[in-house]
Amino acid sequence: MKYSLKWLRDYCPANVPADKLAQQLTMAGLEVESLVRVGDDVVLDVEVVPVRSDCLSMVGLAREISFLTGAPLTLPPVLIKEVRIPKEFSVDVDLVDRDLCPRYSARIVTDLRAGASPPWLAERLEAVGVRSLNNVVDITNFVNLEMGQPLHAFDLAKLRGRKLVIRRAAAGEKLVLIDGQELALSPEDLVIADAEGAVALAGVMGGRDSEVSSSTEAVVIESAHFDPVSVRRTARRYGLSTESSYRFERGTDPTATLEAADRAAALIAEVAGGTVLGPPADKGQTEWSRPAIVLRPARANMLLGTSLTGEDMAVLLRRLYFDVGLDRMENLIISAPPYRRDVCAEIDVVEEVGRAYGYDDVEATLPGGRMPAPARVPREELERAAREVLTAAGFAEVYTPSFTDPEKLAAYGLDAATAVPVANPTVSQFSHLRPALWPALAEVATRNGRLGAPSVLVFELGTVFEPGEDGRVVERPRLAALAAGEAAPRHWSRPPPRADFFFVKGIVEALARALDASLTWRGESFSLGDGEGKYVRLPLEPFGEGHVVEMDVAPLYGRAAAPSRRYHPISRFPSVVRDLAVVVDDGTAAADVVAALRDSSELAREVSVFDVFTGEGLPPGRKSLGIRIRYQADDRTLTDEEANAARQGAIEILTERFGATLRSQ
């Protein structure tokens, strides 16, 4: 926001150079982004954080300057000379929806002459980038900038039925704004209406049918306290952002509505020759109180690194216009001013003490004690293990949007009905939440391939979404990895291997070893510990095909946090190898056979499948598995009799469990 230094000095005549004042404000939490000299004035561009809505005004920033420099704060007096409202000028104010408008104040000024503003008024507005329109509208803008309380002036003659009703809009109700835009209103919008319809969008913009013009002779000055959330939603709904909505969205001082209306009425009477009628309308909650906050000086000193007494803190807080008392425990009882909506808890008061004391004056000290050991978070442990395995294999981690398009899902063979629709999508391409990670990885691979990449190895740790019961959305953490093209860097001595099923299967096996988890493959599905996953082979341009694995990782969190891996010494005795060729059903998973053989004897140290055969010489629906078993003992060299006995035991287990037979040739 832009602030005129000349204007600020009307309220706080601090004799401080502009650059030094900018530094002081910045250190107090109000960053001055630039200083621009305009004639004999200096304009400060200040970044006001959203919680400091009290500083969105000249008076608000003048308060900060007053406490930083010690210069007195002098606010202009509001002098009203009012005449009792004649019946023909009376306006009935009906505050219907008090949840969205807790307080509504209004003043009537008659016998005015709308026209050009006096030079001092136009100069003040133009210094901060506000265009001068006419003396009446300029005064409402002036008071808004001065006090941070947005105002609006209605032409009294254009209010049908001499009524102002603060209510929610009717469904489909129309309103033409001052800028000419016509809106079809929502029942969620708060409007200001006369006897026949809406005349203003509350807190955002006035309507064209009741705006002030050169022929205006009497106005109703609106000064209200609107619900910030309501104004924010209404402004976003119609893509509007105004000086009023900017302030109302961040919260205004509910105690200042009538004071701001009085200030505007007095100034309009001064610059436009009007007569202020009274008494004013002031509907809704007029008394406001906030709960007291207990500040423990010892706690504040511990957090700030200071050694201030309770009295020191009280002095600093009183400079910031806080009411300060004392309880029996020597704690401070703090009451924040009504315009300091950001001060709600003890930690907020601690921050104010730090600001008032000056962070530059806090002595630098090294922290004492030992650094606490970082907590072991199961999810982080698992993700770190997965990243180490995949990056070691040459994969790069990517982050893709959580939103997707049903047409893309259908193109990859996924049922769009499994995707959760987004209530308010920003674009049609992001209308649903993703049910799987791998389609987005395929898009990444395609883009990189078209740019000339010989291979794409990417993975993502992310969340997928599924429809649950009672309209709820179920979120599942997943890991997906995609390989396409060359599976290793090129080398002059040999052609690079191509990514295939066995390459991505090897990645899953490496992850299983890192987590000390069991791994079982069944066709295109697998189980890693308690996590279920699947393999997807898909056509992928320009590589021809891509290979993907995707799995649930939540069931592995505990395992990642507390692995059960133990050290086993290597036997110094030689091993004995025995081969088997067994015939089993086509539906029998080789992984199940291997797992059974590992458990067949304590001497079985390694089991692997070295051949798979189907076709001529085998009965229909059967296949042959060539299996190699390595037997070894820790305390002796095995004899042929021991190895053969272990082999025979393995054959018996396969026969009993899988109906296997030895292949004769």
pLDDT of residue 297: 94
| Percent above pLDDT 90 for the chain | 60
- From CA 447, how far away is CA 415, in angstroms rounded? 24
Q: Do residues 580 and 609 lie in contact, with contact meaning Cβ atoms separated by under 8 Å?
A: no
What distances in angstroms separate CA 489 from CA 30, 118, 268, 350, 391, one per listed residue?
A: 53, 77, 78, 58, 14
9-47 pLDDT, tens digit each: 999 999 999 999 999 999 999 999 999 998 889 999 999
> What pLDDT is recorded for position 76?
87
Determine the average pLDDT of the residues in 644-663.
Answer: 89
Can you name the residues that pair with 253 across neighbouring β-strands?
none
Q: What is the pLDDT, as a whole number, of residue 321? A: 92
What is the rounded distance in angstroms from the CA atom of residue 228 to the CA atom of residue 19?
34
Average pLDDT, stretch 245-274? 95
- Topology match between the domains 378-561 and 576-662: no
As assigned by CATH, the class of the 2-69 domain is alpha beta
pLDDT in tens, 373-382: 777 777 888 8
Is the per-residue pLDDT at 563 higher than 80? no
Q: How confident is the prediction for the chain on average, in pLDDT?
A: 90
* Angle in degrees, CA 246, 251, 253, rounded to 5: 120
Number of Cα atoms under 13 Å in the Cβ half of residue 365: 12
Q: Mean pLDDT lowest for which of 204-218, 307-321, 356-370, 601-615?
A: 356-370
Q: In what order do the strands lie in the sheet with 544-552?
A: 396-397, 455-467, 473-485, 544-552, 531-540, 525-528, 519-522
Residue 5 pLDDT > 60: yes
pLDDT in tens, 483-535: 998 888 777 888 888 888 889 999 999 998 888 888 888 878 898 888 899 99
pLDDT at residue 409, as a whole number: 86
Q: Does the pLDDT of residue 544 top 90, yes or no? A: no
Residue 492: per-residue pLDDT: 80
Please report where in the chains the tokens 């059974």 appear, as a residue.
596
| pLDDT score recorded for residue 428 | 73
Average pLDDT over residues 363-369: 78
3-state helix, strand, coil in the chain (%, to 5): 35, 30, 40
- Cα separation of 143 and 473, whole Å? 48
What SS3 class is residue 23?
helix
| pTM of the shown model | 0.64
Do 533 and 553 form a contact (C-beta atoms < 8 A)? no
The number of CA neighbours under 13 Å toward the Cβ of 152 is: 26
pLDDT at 559 over 70: no
pLDDT in the model for residue 565: 62
3-class DSSP state for residue 3? strand
Residue 212 neighbours by CB under 8 Å, 6+ apart:
114, 134, 136, 137, 153, 154, 155, 219
> What pLDDT shows up at residue 396?
93
Q: In CATH, what class is 82-284?
A: alpha beta
Q: What topology is assigned to 378-561 in CATH?
A: BirA Bifunctional Protein; domain 2 (3.30.930)
Give CA separation, 226 vs 163, 244, 262, 402, 542, in Å. Answer: 19, 11, 18, 35, 58
Cα–Cα distance between 393 and 516 in angstroms, integer?
A: 18
Kindly report which listed range (448-462, 533-547, 561-575) carries the lowest average pLDDT score: 561-575
Over residues 445-496, the pLDDT tens digits come to 999 988 888 889 999 999 999 888 887 889 999 999 999 988 887 778 888 8
Query: Contact at 8 Å (CB) between 349 and 317?
Result: yes
Give the residue-averaged pLDDT of 418-437: 84
Distance of CA 474 to the CA centre of its chain: 19
**CATH match of 293-360 with 3.30.1330.60:** no
Q: Is the pLDDT of residue 63 over 90?
A: yes
Beta strand ranges found along 386-472 (DSSP E): 396-397, 403-404, 420-421, 432-433, 455-467
What DSSP element (H or E) covers 576? strand 576-585
Q: Inform me whether the pLDDT recorded for 220 exceeds 70.
A: yes
DSSP track, 93-149: EEE--TTT-SEEEEEEEES----PPPHHHHHHHHHTT-----HHHHHHHHHHHHHS-
Closest CA to 330 of 318, 349, 313, 305: 313
| Cβ pair 46, 31 in contact under 8 A | yes
Under DSSP, the state recorded for 382 is H
SS3 (DSSP) at 540: strand
- pLDDT of amino acid 564: 58
Mean pLDDT of 625-634: 91
- DSSP category for residue 638: P
What are the residue boundaries of the structural domains of the chain, listed by start?
2-69, 82-284, 293-360, 378-561, 576-662
Most confident segment among 194-198, 381-385, 648-652: 194-198
The arithmetic mean of pLDDT across residues 358-369, rounded, is: 82
- Which residue intervals of 179-326 are DSSP H helices? 228-237, 243-250, 257-272, 297-304, 310-319
Non-local (6+) Cβ contacts of 614 within 8 A are 586, 622, 623, 624
pLDDT score of 560: 58
Q: Decide the pairing of beta strands 103-110 and 219-225.
A: antiparallel
HEC-encoded secondary structure of 458-495: EEEEEEEEEECHHHCEEEEEEEEEEEEEECCCCECCEC
* Cα distance between residue 186 and residue 265, in whole Å: 33
Superfamily of domain 576-662 in CATH is Ferrodoxin-fold anticodon-binding domain (3.30.70.380)
pLDDT at 452: 85
Summarize the confidence of residues 547-571 as an average pLDDT: 78
Three-state DSSP at 9 gives coil
- Give CA–CA dist 130/244, Å, rounded: 13
pLDDT of residue 374: 75
Instruction: 591-597: list long-range contacts, CB under 8 Å, 24+ apart.
Output: 591/519, 591/520, 591/521, 591/522, 592/520, 592/522, 592/658, 593/625, 593/627, 593/654, 593/658, 593/660, 594/627, 595/520, 596/653, 596/654, 596/657, 596/658, 597/627, 597/629, 597/650, 597/653, 597/654
> Which CA distances in Å does 93 have to 103, 140, 288, 305, 638?
11, 20, 21, 53, 102
pLDDT at 665 over 70: no
Mean pLDDT of 428-446: 89
